[in-house]
A and B are shown apart, each in its own frame.
Chain A
Amino acid sequence: MSTATANKKKGGFLAGTANYLDERVGVAGILKEFGRKVFPDHWSFMLGEVALYSFLVLLLSGTFLTFFFQPSMVPVVYDGVYGPLKGAEMSIAYSSTLDISFEVRGGLLMRQVHHWSALLFVAAAGLHMLRVFFTGAFRKPREINWVVGFVLFILGMAGGFTGYSLPDDLLSGNGLRIIDGMIKGIPFIGAYTSSLLFGGEFPGEAIVGRLYSLHIMLIPALILVFVAVHLFMVVIHKHTHYSGPGRRDDNVVGYPLMPVYVAKAGGFFFIVFGVIMLVAATFTINPVWSYGGYDPSPVSAGTQPDWYIGWLDGALRLAPTHLEFMVGNNTLSMNILLPMIVGIGFLVVVALYPFIEAWVTGDKREHHVLDRPRNAPTRTAIGAAGVTFYAVLWAGASTDLIATQFKMSLNQVLTSIQILLIIGPILAYIITKRTCLSLQRKDREIVLHGRESGRIIRMPNGEYVEVHEPMNEYDLYKLVDFKSYQPMLARPNDKGVITIRSRIRAKLSSFFFEERVQPVTATELEAAHDHKEIH
């Protein structure tokens, strides 16, 4: 026997398996490359993981549901255990959903796990996007990953929408009715598209089956592909990290993948799953039995889509009255097209933001150290304005609930939100920008003069002063290590012409960087110390 095989026998089962795999797949090389990869540790970096884990929970719970759900719209008379629907006519899809809820042990639990994790998936993805935005993590080399993430967000919305329409209940059916109405309003192709989608007149008997194919096959497949690309890029770029002592653009500081990250991130999966399971076991979500099967005649007060479609429903509600016009012999439904344009426009701006900012700054370096939001005041203010815009649209979808819960007039609530849609983002921008600049100035103060310690001493000449504690060099470095930019003037090019492009860029750079607070330099710090100020 050679020494190699002798050693193998000594190692036992694990060693044998490792050897088997290495000889066929090269796991040793993989372990060597990735086993001690360093990941920085900050709670805000885990939001993407929450989305990823919710997606895994969706796959698991969804697979269970596919074994019981039947996506057919053929009408059937319900003969199950839920009393108030016994004898009622409904689609097989709705009937099978009732069966899952009331006649399969764990069926209702899995339905609720599935729906709660769908809501969580999009929320976590959205919060993750906000973190990436406000810390500037979308800058080079991660612009493409931003777009990939954006696509994932849209796919999440699509997955959710196709999913909650599957039970063919009154609430989601009215949602489909609204979608159909919107599609019909599209010029030229509207009526045809509606007929293609529904297989004829609304509601038809095709839509649930078609949404089912999208929901269990196409959309999860696309999400998996894009998630793979998303994570692959995190691996090749390595994760970003916040500024601080020892953290630069040419290194990454954190903990090694094995064992710390495997334990923390792996444990976190179980925690997220546990939270979803806890909520699903104790809180009702989407009680389809209360709504009844879809019928074009009844409707419930408080008909809203799931939260992540809310902003689009709000856009529809906020459209002003009488926005429909005749163009020759044809009807142009601006009351539907305007919300669509606003919605798509918003998404386009979100998707393209990294490229806009990169063009303005002209900074082609790689950025791996994150910005604190206050250190990029204009970007943060734009983000705040965007969040406000989204949130106001979202609030617009609950006007009737706001009116009943807070005893206000429905009409006044709507008009107020319409006004807020314009004023809100502007106010949010102004307030946020001012706040960021002030916080930056405060940081400078602390760096130059130390923190107020609360100790008052009396000088020999009678003056009372408060002692300031200087910061230790590590905390101080966190406050001074950020990138600062200055605006440019529009300059003539080689041919002596100031191009429009250059003018626009100059104007934008002024908008972004005219008001700025630069980080404290060593010279300034020296000067402050030389003054021997203790206040």
Chain B
Amino acid sequence: MFKRKLNNSRRNPLTAILVIAAGLIVAGGGYAGATAAVSHSTAGAYTADQVTEGSKLFLANCATCHGKNAEGANYGPSLIGVGAASVDFQVGTGRMPGQASGPQLMKKPVQFTAEQTEALAAYVASLAPGPAVPDEKWTSTTGNTTRGGELFRINCAMCHNAVGAGGALTEGKFAPMLKGVEAKHIYEAMVTGPQNMPVFNDANLTPKDKQDIITYLKYVEANPSAGGEELGSLGPVAEGLFLWLFVLGGIVAITIWLGAKSN
């Protein structure tokens, strides 16, 4: 019956083209949707002007270390494929342009305006596909703090401390404090893995996972401890030091008053 219908089809010949086109769109769109989870959440394309502006800024400020075509040179690795997210993070937090050599790049006052940073990001993004600046949807604090806290403790706390107060790595390197860091920079750091920080691609921590982590961190930042002054959230060492210096010290001062003769 099926065969007969085809043979006796009164359908328009263009139908086949439409069906094929529809099939391609479904397949292609489905693939794009699936790989979106693995690659990156795009924040919008850049204009050609931005790319040009960015390449000029790059030649003036970055090429000495990273090479004229960002292929890498003496002091700077190749930036081909690092994506706009890397640039937005490194330049946006002032780590780049790098200055003093040492075990790790330090955060410094930001040297470029937001437009310039975007231009640089556009230029680097144009070199090869790479992680993009995250969509605002993923950096808003509407995520789940419970999931965020759990994921943070498993993936991040061992370097950054349970509430993001920072921690030590080997040979003078360190994981910085996360307080006061912009949500999108947190996202970008996770997805690009700056310096010795591992890469948490979207297959490892999905954008939703990342958003949950950001929500958790911002919650902790916005809600100081109900117990009072936090002593840097550094734990028992800070508590012990405070105890010996100020509490016991204060009590010893009181005992001296107590034992002294009244005038």
Q: Which A residues have a C-beta under 8 Å from some C-beta of B?
A: 41-47, 50, 83-88, 101-102, 108, 112, 116, 119-120, 123-124, 127, 170-171, 264, 267-268, 271-272, 275-276, 279, 281-287, 290-292, 295, 297-308, 310, 397-401, 403-404, 407-412
Contact = CB atoms under 8 A, between A and B. Distances in A.
B146 A84 contact: yes
Interface stretch (B74-82, B112-120, B124-132, B153-161): B153-161
A83 B159 CA distance: 24
B227 A123 contact: no
A301 B228 contact: no
Given A284-B225, A292-B153, A407-B172, A88 B146 contact: yes
Contacts of A170: 153, 162
A306 B236 contact: yes
Contacts, number: 195
Nearest to B246: A279
Given A279-B247, A306-B236, A410-B169, A298 B154 contact: yes
Contacts of B162: 170-171, 290-292, 300-301
9 contacts: A43-B260, A84-B145, A85-B146, A101-B226, A123-B243, A290-B163, A290-B220, A290-B233, A404-B174
B231 A284 contact: yes
Given A86-B146, A301-B175, A302-B237, A404 B153 contact: no
A83 B145 contact: yes
A41 B259 CA distance: 6
Contacts of A102: 226
B251 A287 contact: no
Given A404-B167, A410-B172, 20 more contacts: A43-B258, A43-B259, A44-B255, A50-B251, A83-B145, A171-B236, A279-B247, A283-B228, A283-B229, A290-B163, A300-B167, A301-B158, A301-B168, A303-B235, A306-B236, A398-B237, A400-B168, A401-B237, A404-B174, A411-B170
Size range of the chain B interface in the assembly = 35 or more
Contacts of A284: 225-231
A66 B165 CA distance: 32
A403 B231 CA distance: 17
A81 B172 CA distance: 40
Contacts of A308: 240
B49 interface: no
B225 A287 contact: yes
Nearest to A403: B168
Nearest to B219: A84
Contacts of A85: 146, 149
B254 interface: yes
Contacts of B229: 282-284
A86 B252 CA distance: 43
Contact of B251 (A275, A298, A301): A275
Contacts of A50: 248, 251, 255
Contact of B240 (A290, A295, A307): A307
B244 to A, nearest CB: 6
Contact of A306 (B169, B240, B254): B240
Given A112-B227, A300-B158, A302-B167, A292 B149 contact: yes
B146 A404 contact: no
Interface in B209-262: 216, 219-220, 225-231, 233-237, 239-244, 247-248, 250-252, 254-256, 258-260
Given A43-B252, A83-B219, A408-B172, A300 B157 contact: yes
A412 B174 CA distance: 14
A157 to B, nearest CB: 13
A176 to B, nearest CB: 15
B103 interface: yes
B166 interface: yes
A305 B236 CA distance: 6
Given A292-B150, A400-B167, A268 B219 contact: no
A281 B228 contact: yes
Contacts of A310: 236-237, 240
A300 B252 CA distance: 34
Contacts of B92: none
